[in-house]
């Protein structure tokens, strides 16, 4: 039995055993001490914590168990200890002298064996970690972006220059626009490489302390040197004019697509809300019409004539039919409101309750409809016949009215002429 502690690392909450927490805390303290005088200390430590959190999530995605000491040891082995990291830094910083005094060489020869023995595991760990990190993952590159970073992300995944991928997308526009469709799909599906660990995975590099530090420093330096007034750096090989043309074209396409998507989102949301609201109102009006026993327009039938059941079973069927049609209308309304508020309205519990009500109503209506299938078929035929006859009578009466209205002016003129002649004869 072990004590479990809740901690937050990389903005993610984990349940971790006490001994694992002590080991992880000691590891992070060592890292903090190592980068104590580094100007990019905060960014490096934050990215290291995010990388640790991602590795913990990868080992226990559903978080069905707490983080154990063994999990922390495996992560430290993958990322490397501070001692290994410091040793690598010293080996890289020390220049090799071509000639040394004999007394120093003999002194170093005595230390050569233990140094090599300590360096061997470090090199082996680096080799293993680099082999593990060599598997690339497809992300959108936010650091080399013109429209959405899809082309640069594919280039990093394939290990080629981003210019060639962008040219391929541009050329595909003249062959049916297939590349634009693929670009939009990848834009929606492929995630952005937000963390340093994801950027390392995108380039197929190992996620170690050394690589994280190198990536952070590189990002900071590129940010300092970046010329925000131009985006020509990524297209130097294609020429200045073509670079400007291609960049402006993609920017224009991105702006148009964003505007169209926003318009479609608003229209789709309005359609869902209007459809759901109209369905609920019409359905409620139809229920009131049915309860009142009113006739179906232009017929001598009511809704009750289609069902032979009576009493409480009839009302149960009526309510079931109402709920069966009402639930989809409510779902449409909730979907529209969810898109508007950009969060789920009703939650999972609400959808489960609606689904249960809908399936229960489907069972009630289905069983009653199955029992009354012959009568329903007969009444439907009768309804169609009565509607046909009523339309025919209505059409004939309308034609008669039109004929009567056309004959009235002629009759009125004849009457006026007769009355005028009678008036003239009556004069002396």
- Picking from 64, 82, 350, the residue whose alpha carbon sits closest to that of residue 213 is 82
* Least confident interval from 104-108, 224-228, 230-234, 265-269: 104-108
Q: What does the pLDDT read at residue 114? A: 42
Q: What does the pLDDT read at residue 116? A: 44
Percentage with pLDDT > 70 across the chain:
62
**Nearest-angstrom CA–CA distance, 294 and 390:** 17
How far lies 172's CA from each of 238, 281, 291, in Å?
A: 17, 49, 62
Q: What is the pLDDT of residues 368-380, one digit of tens each?
A: 777 767 766 776 7
Residue 113 φ then ψ, to 5°: -60, -50
* Least confident interval from 164-173, 209-218, 288-297: 209-218
Q: What is the band of 212 on the pLDDT scale with cuts at 50, 70, 90? A: low
Average pLDDT over residues 152-180: 81
Q: What is the pLDDT of residues 391-404, one digit of tens each?
A: 777 777 777 777 77
Q: For residues 330 and 361, is the Cβ–Cβ distance under 8 A?
A: no
Q: For residues 158 and 150, is the Cβ–Cβ distance under 8 A?
A: no
Average pLDDT over residues 163-181: 79
> What's the maximum distance between 2 C-alpha atoms anywhere in the chain?
163
Q: What is the pLDDT of residues 237-285, one digit of tens each?
A: 444 556 566 677 777 888 888 888 888 888 888 988 898 899 888 888 8
Q: Which residues contact 368 (CB under 8 A, 6 or more apart)?
A: 307, 309, 313, 317, 320
- Domain layout of the chain by residue ranges: 4-94+102-132, 264-379
Q: Which residue has the higher pLDDT, 23 or 290?
A: 23
**Nearest-angstrom CA–CA distance, 249 and 173:** 12
pTM over 0.75: no
Q: What does the pLDDT read at residue 87? A: 56
């Amino acid at each position: 039995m072990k004590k479990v502690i809740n901690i937050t690392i990389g903005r993610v909450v984990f349940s971790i055993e006490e001994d694992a927490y002590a080991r992880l805390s000691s590891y992070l303290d060592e890292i903090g001490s190592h980068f104590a005088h580094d100007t990019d200390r905060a960014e490096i430590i934050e990215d290291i914590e995010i990388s640790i959190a991602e590795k913990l999530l990868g080992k226990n995605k559903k978080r069905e168990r707490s983080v154990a000491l063994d999990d922390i040891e495996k992560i430290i082995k993958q990322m490397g200890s501070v001692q290994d990291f410091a040793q690598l830094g010293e080996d890289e910083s020390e220049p090799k002298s071509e000639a040394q005094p004999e007394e120093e060489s003999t002194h170093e020869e005595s230390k050569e064996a233990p140094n090599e023995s300590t360096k061997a595991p470090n090199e082996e760990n680096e080799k293993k970690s680099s082999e593990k990190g060599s598997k690339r993952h497809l992300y959108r590159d936010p650091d080399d972006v013109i429209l959405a970073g899809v082309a640069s992300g594919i280039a990093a995944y394939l290990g080629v220059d981003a210019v060639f991928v962008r040219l391929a997308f541009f050329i595909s526009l003249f062959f049916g626009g297939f590349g634009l469709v693929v670009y939009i799909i990848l834009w929606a599906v492929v995630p952005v490489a937000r963390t340093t660990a994801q950027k390392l995975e995108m380039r197929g590099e190992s996620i170690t302390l050394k690589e994280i530090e190198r990536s952070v420093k590189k990002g900071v330096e590129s940010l300092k040197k970046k010329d925000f007034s131009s985006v020509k750096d990524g297209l130097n090989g294609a020429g200045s004019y073509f670079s400007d043309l291609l960049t402006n074209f993609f920017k224009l396409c991105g702006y148009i697509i964003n505007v169209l998507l926003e318009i479609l989102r608003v229209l789709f949301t309005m359609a869902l809300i209007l459809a759901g609201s109209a369905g609920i109102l019409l359905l409620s009006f139809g229920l009131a019409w049915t309860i009142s026993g009113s006739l179906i327009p232009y017929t001598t039938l009511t809704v009750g004539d289609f069902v032979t059941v009576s009493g409480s079973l009839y009302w149960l069927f009526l309510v079931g039919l109402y709920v069966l049609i009402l639930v989809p209308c409510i779902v449409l309304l909730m979907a529209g409101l969810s898109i508007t508020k950009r969060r789920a309205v009703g939650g999972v519990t609400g959808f489960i309750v609606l689904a249960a009500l809908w399936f229960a109503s489907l069972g009630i209506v289905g069983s009653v409809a199955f029992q009354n299938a012959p009568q329903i078929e007969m009444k439907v035929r009768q309804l169609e016949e009565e509607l046909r006859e009523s339309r025919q009578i209505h059409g004939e009466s309308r034609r008669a009215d039109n004929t009567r209205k056309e004959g009235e002016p002629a009759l009125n003129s004849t009457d006026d002429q007769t009355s005028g002649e009678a008036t003239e004869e009556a004069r002396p």
